[in-house]
Amino acid sequence: MIDAQNTAASESFHATTVAVDDAAVMIMGPSGSGKSALALQLIGMGARLVADDHTRVNVRDGKAEVLAPKRLQGVIEARGIGLINVPWKPSATLQLVVDMGQVETDRLPPSQRITTVVGLDIALVLRVDAPYFASAVFHLLRHGRAAVTD
């Protein structure tokens, strides 16, 4: 059994990652699926870039820590514009993964989806094709998910 508290697990992902305060979202999906576009929308709301296109994830103190490669810190690709400088931070704690390659079809998904990153369970959200999606992700990171009560 792996002790996630003390393991030196590390994985690299083709993903763009931004953070709201210290809560990070890793945006995954195929090329052209809108990873950087979603990240730019989140940055426009006050998030900070951690990594564009390549994200490293380590286990630190039992949590998933996301980091950027040093050569591209603070730089993101804006399709049709080029590489631009944006507000950034060197690391954050991974709280959420967005899969831009899959579309959410349920209005209220029946249960919270989970994915595994560096051996840890991380909340998963599928892409929502609606203008409020970036705002919903931003507030999910900042304020969390509402508890459902009967």
How many CB atoms are closer than 10 A to CB 117? 21
Sort 67 into a burial class: Cβ within 10 Å, 0-12 / 13-18 / 19+: buried
pLDDT tens per residue across span 41-79? 999 999 999 999 999 999 999 999 999 878 778 999 998
The tokens of 74 are what?
């603070």
Structure pTM?
0.90
